[in-house]
Each structure stands twice: as structure tokens, then as C-alpha cells.
């Protein structure tokens, strides 16, 4: 499954002038039907990793992939679009073999829930300590 690092690696293969043109296309209205343009200020001084972050925040990962492929085609870098396609063309559904045979009751809390609970606990503890440290 594709990750943001795959988009970053693809942008790393662009020459500086190609990268500037890539960012310019992201700022144009109707870059891809259903996808908004990105404000100039967000990309003006953005390096490659910043650009990936802005794209993923704006379009989500799947949308960022679609927009990247479209723009790569527009700047005549179909070679990169193809290699990105191969990177992301793995099975849509990945199978986690670590939990084969387990039921949802004995898997425990998913890590994202655990992180959320931990963050909530830390924020609560900070708020409590602020009140106590008078």
C-alpha cells in the first residue's frame, strides 16, 4: 500500500525546475475534478517533504496519489507516474497475519485507540498538574 514516503521519493526524482512546475500545477483551479487547488502561500517556499505534507493534508493520501499522477503526466514525467503506480499497485486490502485466528474480542485495543487514550490521559494529567501547581 502506498505511503506518503512514496510520494516524497517520487518528488525527489524531479529536477528543481520540474518541481517548481509541479507545485505551480497544484495551485491551479480544477487541478483534478473534485480536488481543490492549494494556496500559493502553502507551497511558495515548500520543499519536497513540505509539499507532500500539504498534499496529504489537503487531499488525503489516496487523493494526493491521484493528483500527483495527473500532474506528473502534465509535466511529461510519465515515467515517474508509472513507477508510482507500481509502488501503489499492491493489493488494496492488506492482510495482517499477526492476528490470524484471533477474534476481535481477544485482539485488544487497536493501536490508534490506545494512542488516543494515552494522549487524552497526558493532556488530562497536564491540566491537572497546572491546577495543582499553584
Residue 50 belongs to domain with CATH number: 1.10.533.10
Q: Percent of the chain, pLDDT > 70? A: 65
At residue 88 the predicted structure's pLDDT band, cuts being 50, 70 and 90, is: low
Q: Please check whether residue 123 lies inside any domain of the structure.
A: no
At residue 58 the predicted structure's pLDDT band, cuts being 50, 70 and 90, is: very high
Q: What is the pLDDT of residues 34-53, one digit of tens each?
A: 899 999 999 999 999 999 99
Task: Assign 3-class secondary structure to the chain.
Answer: CCCHHHHHHHHHCCCHHHHHHHHHHHCCCCCECCECCCCHHHHCCCCHHHHHHHHHHHHHHHHHHHHHHHHHHHCCCHHHHHHHHHHHCCCCCCCCHHHCCCCHHHCCCCHHHHHHHHHHHHHHHHHHHHHHCC
Q: Residue 16: its pLDDT value, please? A: 96
Whole-structure pTM value = 0.64
Mean pLDDT, the chain, integer? 75
- How far is Cα 51 from Cα 26, in angstroms, rounded to an integer? 10
Q: Please check whether residue 69 lies inside any domain of the structure.
A: yes
Q: Note whether 58 and 38 are within 8 A (CB).
A: yes
Query: Which residue, 44, 87, 93, is CA-closest to 69?
Result: 87
Q: Please check whether residue 132 lies inside any domain of the structure.
A: no
Domain that holds residue 35: 4-88
Structural domain count of the chain: 1
Amino acid at each position: 500500500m502506498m505511503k506518503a514516503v512514496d510520494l516524497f521519493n517520487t518528488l525527489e526524482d524531479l529536477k528543481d525546475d520540474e518541481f517548481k512546475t509541479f507545485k505551480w500545477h497544484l495551485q491551479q483551479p480544477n487541478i483534478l475534478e473534485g480536488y481543490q487547488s492549494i494556496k500559493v502561500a502553502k507551497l511558495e517556499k515548500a520543499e519536497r517533504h513540505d509539499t507532500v505534507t500539504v498534499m496529504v493534508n489537503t487531499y488525503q493520501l489516496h487523493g494526493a496519489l491521484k493528483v500527483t499522477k495527473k500532474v506528473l503526466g502534465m509535466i511529461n514525467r510519465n515515467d515517474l507516474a508509472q513507477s508510482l503506480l507500481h509502488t501503489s499497485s499492491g493489493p488494496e486490502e492488506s492482510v495482517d497475519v499477526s492476528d490470524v485466528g484471533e477474534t476481535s474480542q481477544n485482539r485488544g485495543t487497536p493501536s490508534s485507540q490506545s494512542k488516543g487514550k494515552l494522549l487524552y490521559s497526558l493532556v488530562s494529567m497536564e491540566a491537572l498538574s497546572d491546577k495543582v501547581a499553584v
